[in-house]
Amino acid sequence: MTVSQFMSRARTARRSGRLRPTDAAHVYVERLPDFPNVVDVWVFDTSDDSARPIDAAAASEWLRARVAGDPTFRRCLVRVPLDLDYPLWVDDPDFSIENHVSSAVATEAGWAPVEQAIAATLETPVDLSRPPWRLHLLTDVNGVAEFPASATVAVLTFHHCAGDGVRTVELAEKLFAGTATAPTPTDAASSDRSFEGLSPSRASLAATAMWRLPVSLGILMRGLGKGVLASRSVALAGRRGELPAPVGPWPVTMFNTTYSGQAGVRTVSFDLGEVRRVKAVVAGATINDVAMTVTSLAMSSYLDGRAQRPDGSLGAVVPMSWRKSDRDLATANQFCLMSVDLHTEAVCPLERLRSISATAKQEKQRQRHRAMIRLGDVADSVPAVLLRVLARRRRPASGDTLPLGNVMISNVPRSNSDLQLLDAPVAAGFGVLAIGTGEVLSHFVSSLGERLTVAVVADRRVVPDIDRYAELLEKSFAELCGALA
């Protein structure tokens, strides 16, 4: 391939195969022990003795046709030297599903081996020299409440650059579909967003990046100008009362410190019908509002028990998806981060639910305002080198307050319960939210069928009694249900 041919392909990549800043930020932020892994856990019922046994070899063969249904499973990243430009997606010429699937047998009954498998994937970086995903199967799982008597637990991990929680659930549903499907028009289009059969050399990548540097600087200057105008629009909308005022800042807690790299994992499940009954008491409340209230009550009780509760209310960092909006985003990650007041000063559980629901509604309105959207779009103007510097500046709280929140709470429903692995039907599923420096406690809210599951991840050094915290979540939900009387 000549230089001119490669340059032509590189210009096409700017529109297609090159990562957008929103996705590339997850590549640049990665450093020990903070790994931007998105984890989905699926539980398959293997109680039927006549079903085919599950191991890595059998699963790989069964999944082979399914990974053909989406290019995400078969393409990897190529970094530009010195990160002079954003990474590129390229088709992996050596792709083998066997490199992505592993299995092990649970050596004891109960939750411990499941927790170990999940914690291991949270604490291990995804290999970006290959397509950014892996699947670990833990077989012969038994003695876990809410699981079948005999189960296989599938721990599916993606690097965050490949997608957010909503996107990775979509990929999981393709992977565990009963029948392998051909790529959809959307998938076929996304296949064009990579260099097919092209493995550019480091010299070529560097040369292309230098050629694009004046363009990148021009985009940055235009972006800065748009940022100034967007900031003025936000201020003007606030003065006119069109834009709700931001909440926060929040007092620093024991959960806002350096991550030790050792994660504890627990899950708590609730009857979805009971959750809906609680939600119905407050007009306009959502399932996630109930989950945030339960978390708020549990956090308050836990901090009180440790004599660590600060003065003032605490806040939560809550992702809000853009996927059901009219925004045309050509990114794998399509969300913004909301700051939601958890109203931990409210004593009455129902009053806390009402306040959280009202605050969350206001924050959604704020993030959807056109001025806020324009301000957020400025990030697309940041050159790769500068974004890398900014992304790696993540530090534990150094002052007395935090701008966004004390803990992470995410919510991704699972609409498809008709999934399987070989002959084993799905019995449960939940997401797991990685923690990191600054936020060492996370909650991932998932629903499948008539069960709502909250998966908690905490730094073992900070929360050594994670079972106690899980019990407080259960107690808090019972307290909220009891308040209905």
Tell me what pLDDT residue 170 has: 92
The pLDDT tens digits of the residues spanning 40-51 come to 999 999 998 877
CB atoms within 10 A of CB 403: 12
**62 pLDDT higher than 90:** yes
- CB within 8 A of 273, min separation 6: which ones? 450
Is 77 exposed, middle or buried, given 0-12, 13-18 or 19+ CB atoms closer than 10 A? Answer: buried
| Weakest mean pLDDT among 231-245, 306-320, 377-391 | 377-391
The pLDDT tens digits of the residues spanning 105-153 come to 999 999 999 999 999 999 999 999 999 999 999 999 999 988 999 999 9
Listing DSSP states for 417-475 in one string gives --BEETTEEEEEEEEEE--BTTB-EEEEEEEETTEEEEEEEEETTT-TTHHHHHHHHHH
The span from the CA of 394 to the CA of 306, in Å, is: 27
The span from the CA of 92 to the CA of 198, in Å, is: 9
Tell me what pLDDT residue 394 has: 60
Tell me what pLDDT residue 391 has: 76
Listing DSSP states for 102-113 in one string gives EEEE--SSSSHH
The pLDDT tens digits of the residues spanning 176-207 come to 998 876 665 444 334 444 444 456 777 888 78
Tell me what pLDDT residue 324 has: 78
Tell me what pLDDT residue 199 has: 64
